[in-house]
Structure 1
Amino acid sequence: MDYQEVVKKSFVLIGYGAAGKWEGDWVYPIPSLWDRAASFIGEEGVDKIVGVCLPPRNDHYFYICGIELDSVDFNKIGEDMVLHTFPEQKYVVFTHRGNTDQIPATYGKIWREFDRKGYRIKAGMPEIESVRTDLFGKEESNEYEMEIWIPVE
């Protein structure tokens, strides 16, 4: 699986957030958060929607989906929205290509490669999923792409 190492500058994320979990009483808020974040499409300068998972690779998590800003802009924060700031961080970046129902399989490949190469997740840092706004509505096609950024030590 192809990937690259990237140092991402600090950023601010505003959007919609919710807690989720993979075990017990399963709670999966991610699709509804992406649906809500789609409301940003059409705003000037919004070319991608970003999802952030804290902590990565965990059964219990907090997920935020929205837009990335260079700095805090309180005028963009609407009702029921959250704002988080993240420091500069090194990531390993993978790309999922194809139907969204194959994203779990892509993550399986990512974690195998991640473990094989000896990468270690940087505690306290977000996992990032990024999709260009022109790909919204194409989630069930082979044209769909999502970047997956895993924070590393």
Structure 2
Amino acid sequence: MSASIKKYLQLRAQVDQLTEQLASKHQKHMACKKGCDLCCMDYDVFPIEFEAMKEALKDQAVDTQASTIGNCIFLKDHVCQIYEHRPIICRTHGLPLLFMNNDQWELSACELNFTNFADEEFTPENTFPQDTFNSKLFMLNKAFLEESKGEHSEFELIPMQQLKDHLQPKDS
């Protein structure tokens, strides 16, 4: 395993720790539970995440035939088949996300969550700082690309659907 992927896994662990804290803090406002898949879309990821998932899933049989257009290929019967290895974007869904857009801070949260929560109750202390972690992920990806001398560019994103070409098919 490359040094960059090890650092990516450490970043993913930091994200998990913060998201667990925020989920606990906001538990009475969160509708997320097993079977809720409103946010499970067909995402593109940085090469470092793609390679980390490819490595983690290489011996895992996964059914990628069940997804519908626009949904993640790993969603089956409303459950993520790769939950432990999902990318960072999937780890933050449902939580209130704070990010910069057109020179102003914006807040995003799942439409099923925080239905009785006023926007002014969100603070930097109770929201996920998306830009901070996206910047760290971008820099780790840049180091990974330099380390691996791969065929990907610095700003390239890879559709998660391409992972199915590297996985063991699951017997139906």
Specify if TM > 0.5: no
1 or 2, which has the higher helix percentage?
Answer: 2
Pick the TM interval, shorter chain: under 0.3
Structure possessing the higher radius of gyration over alpha carbons = 2
TM-score, length-normalised on structure 1?
A: 0.23
User: Which has a greater percent of strand?
Assistant: 1
Higher relative contact order (CA 8 A, sep 6+): 2
TM (norm. structure 2) is 0.21
